[in-house]
Amino acid sequence: MIVFLMKRKRKKTLEKKTIIEIYTDGSILKNPGGFGGYAAILLRDNKKRQVVGSEPDTTNNRMELRAVIAGLTVIKKPCSVKIYTDSKYVMNGIRKWIGGWKKRKWKNSQGKPVANKDLWLLLDRLCNYHDTYWQWVKGHSGDKWNEAVDKLAGKAARDGAEEYE
């Protein structure tokens, strides 16, 4: 998937206009190297849209990243987006680590190449296109939309594995 986006200035605070909320999750049958699934649920003005997908021979972290990318990619016009994830990897990566990775030419703090660089580059572009705001949610804690997206991602992994066999 190739996505071309124009850069735009990011605003510091959420505007009072309509905000799209995205709940995301990734799932894997065997980590690493198993069949994985990802899902995003987009919510706006009492409307819901689901995006799901799967991949063979992957990792849970890749599926978590794919879920966010899939959700952001279907939004065609720049807007304010609040992203909910239960992945500390995604949260830390986008909020804490990515700046250092860029300064170190995509090397981690140990000097090794950043894992999943291809997806981080794409996510970074999407986050610069939209005004993104991040919220971590504890997985399996009763949050309605987090539970729903968890089920979709798990089903995508299982369905993908069945089709692949």
Is residue 45 annotated as a catalytic residue, yes or no? no
Is residue 53 annotated as a catalytic residue, yes or no? no
Pairing of strands 34-44, 20-28: antiparallel
Residue by residue, pLDDT tens for the chain (165 residues) are 444 444 444 454 555 466 999 999 999 999 999 999 999 999 999 999 999 999 999 999 999 999 999 999 999 999 999 999 999 999 999 999 999 999 999 999 999 999 999 999 999 999 999 999 999 999 989 999 999 999 999 999 999 888 766
Phi then psi for residue 30, to 5 deg, are: -150, 120
Is residue 64 annotated as a catalytic residue, yes or no? yes
* Residue of 111, 140, 142, 165 marked active site: 140
Is residue 26 annotated as a catalytic residue, yes or no? yes
Is residue 140 annotated as a catalytic residue, yes or no? yes
Strand partners for 48: 43
Phi then psi for residue 96, to 5 deg, are: -120, -45
Cα separation, 20 vs 127, whole angstroms: 13
Query: What is the topology classification, in CATH, of domain 20-164?
Result: Nucleotidyltransferase; domain 5 (3.30.420)
Return all residues near 103 (Cβ < 8 A) that are at least 6 apart: none
Return all residues near 122 (Cβ < 8 A) that are at least 6 apart: 1, 3, 69
Write out the two tokens for 71. Answer: 């959700």
pTM above 0.85, yes or no: yes
* Residue of 34, 93, 150, 160 marked active site: 150
Three-class SS state of 23: strand
Is residue 162 annotated as a catalytic residue, yes or no? no
Judge contact between 102 and 75, C-beta under 8 A: no
* Residue of 25, 53, 71, 160 marked active site: 25
Residue in this structure with the two tokens 């990775």, named with its chain if needed: 101
Phi then psi for residue 82, to 5 deg, are: -105, 120
DSSP 10: P
Q: Domain locations in the chain?
A: 20-164
